[in-house]
């Protein structure tokens, strides 16, 4: 027979089910909670107002982050209700940029367990590790190995802050129920000497394992995951360039999976470009596109740009002719022997640049009719005044996206770009920047934050019961995002919507992605109307449910 007192305490102290002081007097009597709570009964709105006052008293952003994480550990519903009322203010606290500092200090600020720590020394007991998850039914997993956290490099076990933060946004923006999310870190050691020497470091104190052992370990992890949770969406996050694309290629046709740094970054960039080219009145397929930065993220963006150009009617060869990729050693050309297979796809014929004085960014901008300049190089200030002024002289509405994170690594400041192009540039950044002042006007700057994409992907595949994430689904997300660009109705507005509008826009993006999943044959047949209804049904809302009688 169920013990009501025990059930009541379980409900009260479980962060997924508690209502705290919002339990009614009737519920307290029925559930054996009398005496466990103060007399007053609060609404969730009153609780959120009280929590906001507490949040506002914290001395700095990291302290605010710690406060919100503690609230999440105590009461998930209240945590998300509070965030939903203050999205613009709190998004940078629970995720970028503040999460970077939280990752750096993860061991020092660690309070309570959350998610799974899949450690290499436990490699022979991975089924037990996965079986110990707190909730057995999971829709979305975000996994990292902590090697390339934001612009901070190897943070070892501290990288766990990224899956925790990302999944908070899956719930806040995408409406995925918090009980059905699972953050995971693969603890395969760290090459960060400071962490290895730090007595407070909580991870496996060992150098990162060699690649053969690494891939075997990831294979074992994926095999157990497929056995335990065959239908879960697995998002790869913040893996080093050397591993990111190989892991995606290894598993994308075997799992419901995607890499946010490669595909999410590409989709949000393409979404901003969709809006920008319509404002510029020059389609993407008619543009010459220059990418400064040819790592996995940069190549991922160019691959999606290529696909979009082909969708507009170009052949693959014609699309590649319009794409110019530059790394630290200059333009990617077919006479270089240091290119990866993915980079070589975008290598220009060396004969095409014969006679140029050099092959750097300035040379490409000088010789080519560039309309779009993108940066994912982490080279601060690489978009110089001379380069930008020359580019701006070639097109009426230059499209310039300095996308590198964090802010200190951006290729240019939006204010400079606006000045050097006489206010004609269409700008989006990777990091958050203050609005641009132009005379008496203040102009917001669009941030190509992946939060515009990944929560919608999670919501779409969950609602549509998709088995794979296809490139066409990612392009559908980008197109739907581009269609929501405020700049389409007012060219002085930013290229991407305000964060406060994200939950509603995410629903539209998710519906477009779900429809594409059916078209691609990776989801059960359903009409657009049925899919739209399924997306709405799937969304979880941060409101307390009435407690039913025992």
Residue with tokens 């009737």: 26
C-alpha–C-alpha distance, residues 102 and 95, integer Å:
9
Model pLDDT for residues 467-506, shown as the tens digit of each residue: 999 999 999 999 999 999 999 999 889 999 999 999 999 9
Catalytic, out of 19, 64, 80, 95 = 95
Residues 471 and 369 in one domain: yes
Q: Contacts from 346-352 at CB under 8 Å and sequence distance 24+?
A: 346/294, 346/299, 346/302, 346/306, 346/320, 348/321, 348/324
Residue 517: phi, psi to the nearest 5?
Answer: -60, -40
* 340-364 residue pLDDT tens: 999 999 999 999 999 999 999 999 9
pLDDT of 550 strictly over 60: no
298 pLDDT more than 60 = yes
pLDDT per residue over 130-169, tens digit each? 999 999 999 999 999 999 988 789 999 999 999 999 999 9
* 70 and 99 fall within a common domain: no
- What would the mean pLDDT of 253-271 be, rounded to a whole number? 95
Q: Which helix (H) or strand (E) holds 470?
A: none
Residue 6: its pLDDT value, please?
64
Is 340 a member of any domain? no
Determine the pLDDT at residue 438: 83
* CA dist., res. 20 & res. 175, Å (int): 22
Q: Tell whether the model's pLDDT for residue 282 goes beyond 80.
A: yes
Q: What is the pLDDT of residue 545?
A: 87
Res 87 pLDDT > 80: yes
Each residue's pLDDT tens digit, 366-416: 999 999 999 999 899 999 999 999 999 999 999 999 999 878 889 999 999
pTM: 0.93
Q: Is 468 within a domain?
A: yes
Q: Identify the CATH number of the domain in which residue 477 sits.
A: 3.40.50.720
Are 300 and 419 contained in the same domain?
yes
Q: Residue 532 is part of which domain span?
A: 261-327+353-550
pLDDT number for residue 431: 87
- β 330-331/323-327 pair status: antiparallel
Tokens of 266: 């590409």
> Between vectors from CA 172 to CA 169 and to CA 176, what angle results, nearest 5°?
85
**Residue 470 is encoded by which pair of tokens?**
């296809």
Check: CB of residue 236 under 8 Å from CB of residue 244: yes
Domain count, the chain: 3
User: Are 120 and 70 found together in one domain?
Assistant: no
Q: Is residue 304 part of a domain?
A: yes
If asked whether residues 106 and 230 sit together in one domain, one would say yes
What's residue 432's pLDDT? 87
Interior angle at CA 125, CA 120 and CA 127, nearest 5: 115
Terminus-to-terminus CA distance in the chain, angstroms? 11
37: domain CATH number is 1.20.1370.30
Q: Do residues 405 and 497 both lie within one domain?
A: yes
Asked if 265 and 249 sit in the same domain, the reply is no
Overall average pLDDT of the 222-243 stretch: 96
442: region left, alpha or beta (phi > 0 left; psi from -120 to 50 alpha): beta
Domain contains 343: no
* Residues contacting 398, CB < 8 A, separation 6+: 370, 371, 372, 373, 388, 391, 392, 421, 424, 425, 426
Q: Is 42 a catalytic residue?
A: no
Which of 58, 76, 91 terminates a domain? The answer is 91
Torsion sign across C-alpha atoms 298, 301, 303, 306:
negative
Residue 236 pLDDT greater than 90, yes or no: yes
Report, as an integer, the average pLDDT of 8-33. 94
Query: Is residue 210 included in any domain, yes or no?
Result: yes
CA dist 66 and 385 (Å) reads 40
State the pairing for strand pair 426-429/446-447: parallel
Of 234, 255, 276, which residue is a domain's last? 255
Give, in degrees to the nearest 5, the angle at Cα 156 between 114 and 376.
105
Digit-coded pLDDT (tens) for 252-261: 999 999 999 9
* pLDDT attached to residue 1: 41
Is residue 170 part of the annotated active site? The answer reads no
Q: How far apart are CA 367 and CA 425, in angstroms?
A: 20
Task: Give burial (CB, 10 Å; 0-12/13-18/19+) of 58.
Answer: middle
- In this predicted structure, what is the pLDDT of residue 150? 82
Rounded to 5°, angle at Cα 246 from 241 and 249: 130
- What is the distance between the alpha carbons of residues 78 and 72, in angstroms, rounded to a whole number? 8
In this prediction, residue 223 carries a pLDDT of: 97
Based on the fold, state whether residues 358 and 266 are members of the same structural domain: yes
Name the active-site residue from 64, 80, 166, 201. Answer: 166
What is the rounded CA–CA span in Å between residue 442 and residue 40? Answer: 45
> Domain check: are 294 and 146 in the same one?
no
Run of H or E including 158: none
333, part of any domain: no
Q: Looking at the predicted structure, is the pLDDT value of residue 549 above 70?
A: no
Residues 408 and 422 grouped into a single domain:
yes
Are both 243 and 150 inside the same structural domain?
yes
pLDDT band at 548 (very low <50, low <70, confident <90, very high): low
Give the integer Cα–Cα distance in Å for 34 and 4: 12
Which tens digits make up the pLDDT trace of 88-128?
999 999 998 899 999 999 999 999 999 999 999 999 999 99
302 falls within a domain: yes
d(CA 146, CA 166): 14
Q: Which of 23, 56, 91 is the last residue of a domain?
A: 91
- Mean pLDDT within 503-523: 97
| Per-residue pLDDT, 491 | 85
Cα 153 from Cα 100, distance rounded (Å): 10
- Residue 284, pLDDT > 90, answer yes
For residue 123, which of 206, 208, 192, 187 has the smallest C-alpha distance?
187
Average pLDDT over residues 531-544: 97
DSSP E strand boundaries for 76-187: 116-119, 140-144, 181-187
Same domain, 317 and 407: yes
Asked if residue 338 is part of any domain, the answer here is no
């Amino acid at each position: 027979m169920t013990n009501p007192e025990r059930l009541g305490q379980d409900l009260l102290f479980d962060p997924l089910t508690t209502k705290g002081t919002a339990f009614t007097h009737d519920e307290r009597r029925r559930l054996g909670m009398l005496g466990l709570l103060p007399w007053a009964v609060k609404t969730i709105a009153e609780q959120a107002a009280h929590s906001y006052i507490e949040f506002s008293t914290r001395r700095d952003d990291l302290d605010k982050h710690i406060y919100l994480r503690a609230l999440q550990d105590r009461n998930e519903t209240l945590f998300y209700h509070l965030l939903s009322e203050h999205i613009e203010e709190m998004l940078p606290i629970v995720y970028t940029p503040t999460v970077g500092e939280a990752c750096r200090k993860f061991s020092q600020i660690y309070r309570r367990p959350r998610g799974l720590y899949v450690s290499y020394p436990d490699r022979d007991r991975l089924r037990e590790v996965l079986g110990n998850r707190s909730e057995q039914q999971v829709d979305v997993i975000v996994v990292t190995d902590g090697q390339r956290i934001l612009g901070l490099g190897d943070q070892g076990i501290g990288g766990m802050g990224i899956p925790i933060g990302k999944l908070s946004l899956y719930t806040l923006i995408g409406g995925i129920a918090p009980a059905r999310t699972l953050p995971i870190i693969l603890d395969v050691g760290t090459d960060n000497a400071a962490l290895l020497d730090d007595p407070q470091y909580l991870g496996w104190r060992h150098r990162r394992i060699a690649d053969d052992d690494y891939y075997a370990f990831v294979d074992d992890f994926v095999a157990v995951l497929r056995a335990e949770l065959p239908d879960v969406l697995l998002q790869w996050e913040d893996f080093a360039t050397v591993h990111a694309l190989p892991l995606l290629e290894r598993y994308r046709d075997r799992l419901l999976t995607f890499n946010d740094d490669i595909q999410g970054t590409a989709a949000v960039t393409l979404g901003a470009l969709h809006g920008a080219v319509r404002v510029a009145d020059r389609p993407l397929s008619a543009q010459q596109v220059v990418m400064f930065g040819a790592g996995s993220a940069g190549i991922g963006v160019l691959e999606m740009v290529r696909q979009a150009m082909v969708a507009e009617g170009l052949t693959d060869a014609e699309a590649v002719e319009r794409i110019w990729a530059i790394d630290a050693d200059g333009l990617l050309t077919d006479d270089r022997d240091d290119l990866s297979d993915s980079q070589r796809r975008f290598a220009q014929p060396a004969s095409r640049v014969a006679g140029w004085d050099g092959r750097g960014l300035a040379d490409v901008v000088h010789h080519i009719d560039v309309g779009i300049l993108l940066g994912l190089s982490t080279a601060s200030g690489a978009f110089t005044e001379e380069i930008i002024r020359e580019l701006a002289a070639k097109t009426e509405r230059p499209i310039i996206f300095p996308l590198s994170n964090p802010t200190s690594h951006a290729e240019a400041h939006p204010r400079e770009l606006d000045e050097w192009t006489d206010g004609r540039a269409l700008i989006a950044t990777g990091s958050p920047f203050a609005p641009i002042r132009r005379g008496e006007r203040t102009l917001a700057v669009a941030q190509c934050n992946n939060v515009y994409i990944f929560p919608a992907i999670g919501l779409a595949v969950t609602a549509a019961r998709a088995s794979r994430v296809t490139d066409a689904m990612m392009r559908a997300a980008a197109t739907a995002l581009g269609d929501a660009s405020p700049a389409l109705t007012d060219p002085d507005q930013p290229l991407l919507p305000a964060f406060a509008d994200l939950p509603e826009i995410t629903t539209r993006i998710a519906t477009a992605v779900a429809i594409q999943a059916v078209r691609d044959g990776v989801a059960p047949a359903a009409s657009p109307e049925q899919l739209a209804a399924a997306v709405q049904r799937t969304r979880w809302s941060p409101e307390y449910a009435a407690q039913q009688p025992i």
